A and B are shown apart, each in its own frame.
Chain A
């Protein structure tokens, strides 16, 4: 489709006898942030590897910016940035040298490493060897490295996995800034909250297949169940929970009866989470 940054057509890959990615097809529009959700082993990383030319699909094809990944890898790699799931930095080198190395590979002689390091919160640590960095700092440097060439498409594979809240939030801010810049972001994660917050659309992946692909709002509308949750006081100051489904003809009556017959302490609306929906669709959770 014209204007699509990423197009996957019937991508298929297997490791030995194990099917990792099972004929998936989807497209991602330019400037869109797409979250790929799924538990470990669902096929997210294999999909990223095929999209970025690290793995050759057994069948199907991938197009990035209208170019076939298997044919135009050099041109495509000039336009994309990839942040890997596990840190793969040159740890004996400092942060600045790590970035400068990649800037030279991208032929960017005017590259400003300190400015990018400042952007990811590593100002003042540019000259420190990476081997002395914390996990969060390494991950921020990984994200920075993926942005060295101002990529049109940014692939981020579990960029916040295992990070402290501050580091994770810092990376989420960078992703939003990249979207503002106009980059297409392909984000794989099993953090449903993160995907919900950052993504224009999310794909649910399970056992190598995409089982749902839509905006978080639409998925919640389609699969979720909105409800009111109330805590009421019973005899002996004991608290009990009450749940009243919304979107039902009986909702007004049930709500009236609640306040008439019970002593309500707290009441709030509750929306289905992406994890609830994932479980509903696949019958399994996102973690594990």
Chain B
């Protein structure tokens, strides 16, 4: 490879990129939009269970004792207002006690307690609230629970410091930014092939390896630079920056290799888009496992971006260090090198 020639070709590609309004706007808008979405989303998770209570005969004393244990109970002056508050989403549930609730408890009669839930309240929340009320009523009778519970947190105790949704989105946005650049690079290369400008380059001292080197450098730099900038601005590099930076760099190599493949099938921007969008959709799938952890299934691990998403998520959101992510980084390195190498091979066949 000739560094002078590669530098010349990189300079040319940057000039062409800056003259492609579509990609400049897409890149800038993507970066800005993801940052705006990040900053407008809540920065913390409210773990308090908020309940509404209508107690015409006065609130049972036991409720006073549990107020500081993750429960917030607001007394409401009428049953109608309670129902309205639940419908409006101000409370997870509304509890309406009968006027003689305490008398019935004390005389051993089973009082009937009305509990209101909004239509979209999840079944598990309904069950939890029901159990809570039964337990509180049992305690109110003065009898201790017949079991002792010994809680043990496995791993880092996230109680009180849950990962806010916006931080869960960081790996998703970083991966989206990386992947978007595959479309730009693939378009740039396919246009070089289709317009035969590559032929003109290859009858100068520039060689195929210089061409691939320059395209690789441009692709990796743009993708990596953009994702890194995003992560830096949204504070994603605050913990374990080095594993994250390495993961983003390897991810950029991976998406550059993928863009080589796209460039072999696309003929211009629209056909690259047509081929590229299904590929982008597949590559983004692992990012959603961060948002919906239960959605993770074994087959997702065959998608190379899984190792990128998981590394960024573990390092940025859970403080995962080298020991936690080294296998991911190794897999990402393998995928990145394989895609880059195979992409280069098929690309060379296309313009031969």
Contacts and interface: CB of A to CB of B under 8 A. Distances in A.
Interface string B1-32: 00011001101100110011000000000000
B63 to A, nearest CB: 71
Contacts of B20: 92
Contact of B201 (A74, A91, A92, A105): A105
B204 interface: yes
Contacts of B196: 84, 86, 88
A90 B8 contact: no
A47 to B, nearest CB: 15
Contact of B203 (A82, A91, A101): A82
B205 A101 contact: no
Interface in B187-220: 195-197, 199-207
Contact of A52 (B16, B197, B203, B205): B203
A80 B205 CA distance: 10
A88 B195 contact: yes
B8 A105 contact: yes
User: Most chain-A CB neighbours within 10 Å: which of B19, B20, B202, B205?
Assistant: B205
Contact of B12 (A82, A89, A90): A90
A53 B202 CA distance: 9
Contacts of A196: none
A84 B204 CA distance: 13
A218 interface: no
A105 B16 contact: no
Contacts of A74: 205, 207
Interface string A28-63: 000000000000000000000000111000000000
Q: How large is the interface on A (under 10, 10 to 19, 20 to 34, 35 or more residues)?
A: 20 to 34
B197 A90 contact: yes
A105 B204 contact: yes
A193 interface: no
B8 A104 contact: yes
B199 A84 contact: yes
A133 interface: no
Interface string A201-218: 000000000000000000
Which of A53, A105, A106, A145 has the largest number of chain B CB atoms within 10 A? A105
A161 interface: no
Interface in A82-98: 82, 84, 86, 88-93, 97
Contact of A105 (B19, B199, B205): B205
Nearest to B194: A88
A76 to B, nearest CB: 9
B279 to A, nearest CB: 26
A89 B15 CA distance: 14
A101 B8 CA distance: 7
A54 B202 contact: yes
A99 to B, nearest CB: 12
A82 B200 contact: yes
B199 A88 contact: yes
Contacts of B11: 104
A173 interface: no
B195 A92 contact: no
Contacts of B200: 82, 84, 88-89, 102, 145
Contacts of A52: 203
Nearest to B201: A105
Nearest to A80: B203
A77 interface: yes
Contacts of B19: 92-93
A93 B203 contact: no
A142 B201 CA distance: 13
A134 to B, nearest CB: 18
Contact of B205 (A82, A86, A93, A107): A107
A84 B197 CA distance: 10
A102 B8 CA distance: 9
Nearest to B207: A74
A251 interface: no
Interface in A102-126: 102, 104-107
B203 A97 contact: no
B16 A90 contact: yes
Contacts of A89: 197, 200
B82 to A, nearest CB: 66
A88 B199 CA distance: 8
B43 to A, nearest CB: 43
Contacts of B199: 54, 84, 88
Contacts of A101: 8, 12
Given A88-B200, A104-B11, 15 more contacts: A74-B205, A77-B203, A78-B205, A80-B203, A82-B200, A84-B196, A84-B199, A88-B197, A90-B12, A90-B197, A92-B19, A92-B20, A93-B19, A106-B205, A145-B200
21 contacts: A54-B199, A74-B205, A77-B204, A80-B203, A84-B200, A86-B196, A88-B197, A88-B199, A89-B197, A89-B200, A90-B12, A91-B195, A93-B15, A101-B12, A102-B200, A102-B204, A104-B11, A105-B9, A105-B204, A106-B204, A107-B4
3 residue pairs, one from A and one from B, having the closest CB atoms: A88-B196, A105-B204, A104-B8
